[in-house]
């Protein structure tokens, strides 16, 4: 089975298991989505969803968020980890959105990635899930599974993203990004499947016996 054939099998299974792909981070609009994604770095979506209601009840738009002190933001988001960095980034990016972007979240990669605390993955999520613009955000789950499924050599996250974009239709990227994450969390976890147990791994590599060791991002 070559890479193209594996991609067809993978998409067929994912579409059957996850016909709908709700965004796992609770949010109200593109600004609250941006903040939630920023907070999710090295933190579970569940924990973020526990923290953001308190934060957004006080400040759910750039203007109100920009008026909060960094310390106030920090006290609320501390359970998400990396509190000092994230609180400063949230404060700074909120002020920039107010002063430079008329309180609107920009809908292009260049402007998004210019904001404090916003890297390519965060920008990709906002572009795809917030604005509906095709993007393929690669997180640790996707980086791991793409290697297990023989879709990339796993050299780095950037290469994984490029390889996935080449093999899957552009119109499928936004949904597929979430489908792969869901599968990685439910069936092909880092410390269980090892590329030999879940349905997709068995379908792609039925003769694989030894655990597959993936390259970390």
With tokens 């970390």, the residue in question is: 216
Cβ distance 160 to 152 under 8 Å?
yes
Q: Is the pTM of this model over 0.85?
A: yes
Cα first-last separation, the chain: 26
Asked whether residue 158 is domain-assigned, the answer is yes
Cβ distance 152 to 110 under 8 Å?
no
For residue 99, the model assigns a pLDDT of 98
Cβ distance 40 to 25 under 8 Å?
yes
Residues in the chain predicted with pLDDT less than 50, given as ranges, are none
> Which residue, 130, 147, 180, sits at the end of a domain?
130
Give the CATH number for residue 57: 1.10.340.30
Radius of gyration of the chain, Cα coordinates, nearest whole angstrom = 18
Whether residues 34 and 123 fall in one domain: yes
> Which residue, 103, 130, 157, sits at the end of a domain?
130
> Which residue, 81, 111, 130, sits at the end of a domain?
130
For residue 215, the model assigns a pLDDT of 86
3-state secondary structure 9-27: HHHHHHHHHCCCCCCCCCC
Burial letters 2-12, b for 16+ CB under 10 A, else e = eeeebbeebbe
For residue 214, the model assigns a pLDDT of 86
Indicate left, alpha or beta for 111 from its phi (over 0: left) and psi (-120 to 50: alpha).
alpha
Asked whether residue 95 is domain-assigned, the answer is yes
What whole-number distance in Å separates Cα of residue 183 and Cα of residue 151? 16
For residue 50, the model assigns a pLDDT of 98
Which stretch of DSSP H or E encloses residue 97?
Answer: helix 83-100
Active site residues per annotation? 121, 139
For residue 94, the model assigns a pLDDT of 98
What whole-number distance in Å separates Cα of residue 76 and Cα of residue 69? 11
Asked whether residue 216 is domain-assigned, the answer is no
Domain that holds residue 74: 30-130
- Structure token pair of residue 53: 């209601």
What whole-number distance in Å separates Cα of residue 216 and Cα of residue 97? 34
Give the CATH number for residue 157: 1.10.1670.10
**pLDDT tens string 103-145:** 999 999 999 999 999 999 999 999 999 999 999 999 888 999 9
């Amino acid at each position: 089975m070559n890479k193209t054939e594996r991609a067809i099998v993978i998409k067929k299974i994912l579409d059957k298991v996850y016909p709908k792909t709700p965004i796992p981070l609770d949010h109200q609009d593109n600004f609250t989505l941006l903040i939630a994604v920023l907070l999710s770095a090295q933190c579970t979506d569940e924990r973020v969803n526990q923290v953001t209601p308190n934060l957004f009840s006080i400040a759910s738009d750039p203007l109100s968020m920009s008026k909060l002190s960094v310390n106030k933001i920090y006290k609320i988001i501390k359970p998400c980890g990396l509190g000092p960095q994230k609180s400063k980034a949230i404060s700074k990016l909120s002020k920039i959105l107010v002063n430079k972007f008329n309180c609107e979240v920009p809908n292009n990669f260049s402007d998004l990635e210019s904001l404090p605390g916003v890297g390519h993955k965060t920008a990709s999520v906002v572009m795809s899930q917030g604005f509906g613009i095709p993007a393929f955000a690669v997180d640790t789950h996707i980086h791991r599974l793409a290697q297990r499924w023989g879709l990339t050599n796993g050299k780095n996250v950037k290469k994984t993203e490029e390889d996935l974009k080449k093999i899957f239709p552009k119109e499928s990227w936004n949904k597929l990004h979430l489908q792969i994450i869901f599968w990685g969390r439910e069936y092909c976890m880092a410390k269980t499947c090892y590329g030999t147990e879940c349905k997709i791994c068995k379908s792609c590599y039925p003769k694989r016996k030894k655990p597959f060791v993936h390259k970390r991002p």
